[in-house]
Structure formats: structure tokens, C-alpha cells
Amino acid sequence: MSSERPSVLVVDDSALVRRVIADVIAESGEFRVSGEAADGMDAIRKVHALNPDIVTLDVEMPELDGLQALGYIMSEVPRAVVMLTAIETPEGGDLTIRALELGAVDFVRKPGRDEAIDGARLRERLLSSLREAATVNLSATSVLARPRHARQRASPVTQPAECVVAIAASTGGPRALAELIPALPPELNAAVIVVQHMPAGFTESLARRLDRVATLPVSEVRGGEPILANRIYVARGGRHLTVSSGAGVPCLAVGDEPPVHGVRPCADLLFASVARRYGRKAVGVVLTGMGRDGAEGLRLMRDAGAYSIVQDAASAVVFGMPRAALQRAGGADDVSPLSRIASAIVRGVGTRLPAM
């Protein structure tokens, strides 16, 4: 991006929403509005004509919708894209997650047609997303092809997991998880617990989409579930997630304690609880994301003897969380590109369990 204020193209079929978004951007002093577009075709033309650094793109638009426009932009003229969505139905959540798989950096919940506009809240969320967008590694945001359904599903198991894989992800995480999770084998012999920074209402869609393509069953955590081998658990948006003991059996607990590092769920809390309960029989993974969540937790896991994996800078959309983890934890057992992290997890699990 240029040294001057990053430029933003605002795309929405609502003139009112375009005006509100453009005013927030112009008044921020951090960004400038390069132009506006009312639909996907107009957006594509203006991306070519104006060459904006960032695009805010409405999910639902007539003629050419946000997903179609996003697919073209990321394939032909890649740049940082922040999606705008007012959809709260399960189908709408799926569309938003698909947009993140296609390379969008983040999404911002905008008011629905029958909702009042909360200017302060919208401003805070939008500017936060634009700041993240201004730092992304565009070479790591290539379009992810629609994943195929898993060829082989894991056999149902009911035994408690001897080993746990704890994963932290934020900006760029849904796309990274869409590549990583389907690559895990059906007989991993461990439970996988994922903290993805995401608001309430969207992690259910994330879990459902991952479940369609994974060899292991994937579900959003409701609270109280026993931690079983060969299952993947996704932290619920807006709730913290930790490992606890129910009747002596490790289980998953959700909580409404205040956000940590400004996020809830917080990976540090999960990692710390995994370190206490599983010790060396655990694998910690820190993927792409802004901030430092997961850094202290990975250090605690390493101190407890767990195997540690960090995504490398070249493949991370945002290297903030991986960098912080490497600094705080004093390194990692494995620093790998996203394409090799599944095999690194398998290797890590194998070193934590006794030979069969």
C-alpha cells in the first residue's frame, strides 16, 4: 500500500449505508474514500479505474452479488476486502464464511433494513477491520477453491481423548481452517479444539461448513461436552472456552467472563487450561491473526511439555499472532506454511502418544 492514507472503495446497494460508511471513513483521518459503487459490476469497474487499497463490499446486492464480485476481485485484481453483512440467518452466516474462504479479510455486521444505525458501534468495528485490512499479506489471500466433501469419515468413537490439539486463529483464520481441517486424517487419535475470533452467530456456520468437508466430525461447543478423540470442537462466538472436569472426565466449559486482549473467545484461556489438564499430551497451534492472543498460552503449553506449531510469515494473512507466539514462547517446535500444518499436527500427536 502507498505511504499516504489507504484508499477505500465503498460498495453497497443502499445509498444510505454508502453515505454512513463513507462518512465514517472520511472522518477517521486514517483512511480516505476513493469512490463508491452501488453493485458488483460497478465495483469491479471502479476497482480497475480507481485502484483502491481496500474495498468494503456488501454481501447481498442485485445482479452481481458480493460473493461473485469478491471472487473476481481476488482472482484478477487482489486487494484487501472487508465484507458488510446484515444477514443473521444460518444461510447468511454460511455466505459470510464463504466470503472469508474466498479471501475477504474480515466482515462487519451492518444494521438490517429495519434496524437503527448505531454510529459509534459501527465506527469502532469498521475502523478496526480497516486497520487489519491495511496490514494484510495479499500473497496469502488467494481464493480458496470450494472444498470437496470428505472422502472418508472417521469412525464414531466415544472414548475420552488422550491428546488434545488446541488451535488459535483470527484474521484470515476461516480461510486457513478451510484448508487445514479437511487435511487432518480420520484417525488422528486426538481431539481438536479451535478458537476462532468471531462474533456470536457465525461460529455455528463456520463449524457447519467445516463439518461438510472434514474427515472428523465438527461441531460448535455448547458447553459440557466430553472431550472425545477424533472430534473437532469450535469455540462458540462471544463465549470463552476452557477445559474442565465433569465427574472426573475432561469436558468443555463455556463462560461469559470479560474479554481478554479485547476478544472472547480467548485462545490464551483455552491454551492455559489445556496445559494444566493435558501437559505434554497436547499440541498447540497458532495460525494467522492480528494481535497477541495465543502467545502466552503457547508458552504455558510448551512449558508443560506440549508440542508447538506456528504458521509461517509467508502463508499468514496477518503475522501478528504467530510473531507474538514465537517471541513469547521462545520459538516453536515447528514453524510451517499453512499447507504443511496438518502433517505437523499429525507428527506432533504421534510424539505425544505411546506407540501402538
Annotated catalytic residue 293? yes
Pairwise CA distance, residues 73 & 133, whole Å: 15
List C-alpha distances in Å: 48 to 39, 43, 61, 108. Answer: 15, 9, 20, 24
CA distance 142 to 103: 6
Beta strand ranges found along 154-306 (DSSP E): 164-169, 191-196, 218-220, 232-234, 240-246, 249-255, 282-286
Q: Which of 106, 293, 315, 336 is catalytic?
A: 293
**Which of helix, strand or coil describes residue 268?**
helix
- Residue 338 contacts by C-beta under 8 Å, 6 or more apart in sequence? 140, 176, 179, 180, 287, 288, 311, 315, 316
Q: To which H or E segment does residue 129 belong?
A: helix 119-133
Q: Which of 34, 129, 170, 273 is catalytic?
A: 170
What is the rounded distance in angstroms from the CA atom of residue 299 to the CA atom of residue 275?
9
Active site residue 197: yes
User: Active site residue: 12, 42, 53, 197, which one?
Assistant: 197
For 350, half-sphere exposure in the C-beta direction (CA atoms, 13 angstrom radius) is 8
Q: At what angle do helices 90-101 and 66-76 cross, to 10 degrees?
A: 10
Reply yes or no on whether 312 is catalytic: no
Helix (H, G, I), strand (E, B) or coil at 242: strand
Looking at residue 232, its amino acid is I
Q: What is the CA radius of gyration of the chain?
A: 20
**How far apart are alpha carbons 5 and 9 in whole angstroms?**
13
DSSP code of residue 199: -
Q: Which residues are catalytic?
A: 170, 197, 293
